[in-house]
Amino acid sequence: MNTGAPAAPKSQALVIRRLTKRYVVSVLDNFDLTVDDGEFVCLLGPNGCGKTTLLRILAGIETPDSGDVLVHGSPLHERNRLTHRIGYVFQEPRLLPWKSVRDNVMLAIKNVCRVDSSRSRSLAQDFLRLVGLSGFEDYFPNRLSGGMQQRASIARALAVQPELLLMDEPFSALDPENRRILQDELLRIWRETGVTVLFVTHSVDEAFRLASRVLVLSARPTRILLEIRPDRETDVHTTKQRVLEIFAEQVRLQQGLTTPAQAVTI
């Protein structure tokens, strides 16, 4: 019901300011991004533009050369220690093969949260149920299909009750049918948990299916070229075509097949 009262401002889950990272090449150069609590943001950009580097910095695996990252208003790092709970789902499940699915999830909980083992066991159980793996808790990863292993890795990331859930092309190794099923499951989980998601993909369809906001990224050093809220688009088909054209141009630019002056202007 609309009471006429102004909506409360959303809190910011993530603020990135002037983030800069250089290897031999410049990957991020004064990159800015703000993500509200509970948003589902898809990052769509050409190979090698810096998406994984960005996620690795947000997960504390990589350090930036300069810039600020604030999670819920406070710095991501303090004295080189991660001060926030961040969940990370990789392209491959990366489960420990010598541990059961339950123990894989419990290990993540133990590493991040200060809870006793009976609490971590019941949390693991809850999150495995959330991803549809009830009954498979004692299985070892090699007895599960690729889709089930990826479900387990999503449970592991969620079980630490992350302030940010980072997902780096998590469904790209799955067949189209499983990919669709897991996309639906992820949307359900996102709605149920309200977790803030940053999701990397190369698929325009996947981005439009999942995201509350799609960010189209440029070639390196990457910047945001275009922001789209799929649910506000009146002609999604035409918008997707435009994104595909921009995306293709950035791929060519990234591969050195065109010069910045020839790139699409927006």
Ligand X SMILES: Nc1ncnc2c1ncn2[C@@H]1O[C@H](COP(=O)(O)OP(=O)(O)OP(=O)(O)O)[C@@H](O)[C@H]1O
Q: Of 137 and 206, which CB lies nearer to ligand X in the complex structure?
A: 206
Q: Of 120 and 150, which CB lies nearer to ligand X in the complex structure?
A: 150
8 A C-beta contact, residue 248 and residue 219: no
253-259 long-range contacts, CB within 8 A, separation 24+? 253/46, 253/218, 253/219, 254/46, 254/47, 254/48, 254/49, 254/219, 254/220
CA-CA distances (angstroms) from residue 165 to 28, 53, 141, 158, 233? 21, 15, 22, 7, 26
Three-class secondary structure of residue 246 per DSSP: helix
**Closest distance to ligand X from the beta carbon of 254 (Å):** 9
**Closest distance to ligand X from the beta carbon of 198 (Å):** 12
- What residues line the site for ligand X (CB under 6 A)? 23, 25, 27, 45, 47-53
**Closest distance to ligand X from the beta carbon of 48 (Å):** 4
User: Tokens standing for 237?
Assistant: 């088909």
Q: Of 59 and 107, which CB lies nearer to ligand X in the complex structure?
A: 59
Q: Of 104 and 222, which CB lies nearer to ligand X in the complex structure?
A: 222
**Closest distance to ligand X from the beta carbon of 61 (Å):** 10
**Closest distance to ligand X from the beta carbon of 16 (Å):** 15
Q: Of 38 and 221, which CB lies nearer to ligand X in the complex structure?
A: 221
